[in-house]
Amino acid sequence: MARMSTAPDAGQLIAILLKLLNPKKTIEIGVYTGYSLLLTAVNIPGDGQVSNLPTLYENEIELSNSTHKDLQIIAIDPDREAYEIGLPVIQKARVDHKIKFIESEALAVLDTILENGENEGQFDYAYVDADKGNYRNYHERLMKLLKVGGVCVYDNTLWAGTVAMSEEQTPEPMKAERKAILEFNKALAADPRVQLSQAPLGDGISICRRIY
């Protein structure tokens, strides 16, 4: 299970980044047991909100002692069971009131949020650690949701170092995701909408700042 979570050294950088950004509205794609979600929740201010959340998702989860204006993080993952493993830790940190967990595939949720044009350019920060084959699809939608100056962090963009290996050297179980990550990395490098930094921490994190 630990191999699927954000690496501690990457988490330290993300925590500092969040303090510098001071984001009020964030979105997380891929939650698993919630380590990166906890990082976000404890490092963002307590006065933000998520506005214009589609009615379809209003009742996805009941959060004790929270109101709609408290919600700052939209967290999307199809696996509620994994999320609930880490939920007691999030509750112990007293930041569960900041989170709206949505049990769903992410593309459907992002498309629904984007149906309301008022949501474009309204998010300050996004974090993605999900199915690698959809990273480019997530990126295109997040470029609409993030404000100019907003930041998105993508995890696993070195894919255990296989991006620097030949196809023949790559273990068979990693080949499909390696190909997806290679294509995604090339797309990010060529995207004029973002300022990009590839940090060789954990399994590699790509930090994108939207510049227009």
pLDDT at 161 over 90: yes
| Band (7; pLDDT cuts 50, 70, 90) | confident
pLDDT at 62 over 50: no
Burial class, 158, CB count within 10 angstroms (exposed 0-12 / middle 13-18 / buried 19+): buried
pLDDT at 120 over 90: yes
pLDDT at res. 167: 94
| Band (47; pLDDT cuts 50, 70, 90) | low
| Band (169; pLDDT cuts 50, 70, 90) | very high
pLDDT at res. 2: 45
Burial class, 208, CB count within 10 angstroms (exposed 0-12 / middle 13-18 / buried 19+): buried
Q: What is the DSSP string of 44-112?
A: S-SS----S--GGGTTS---TT--GGG--EEEEES-HHHHHHHHHHHHHTT-GGGEEEEES-HHHHHHH
Residue 76 carries which DSSP code? E
pLDDT in tens, 71-117: 689 999 999 999 999 999 999 999 999 999 999 999 999 999 999 99
pLDDT at 46 over 50: yes
Average pLDDT of the chain to the nearest whole number: 89
| Band (8; pLDDT cuts 50, 70, 90) | confident
pTM for this one? 0.89
Residue 115 carries which DSSP code? T
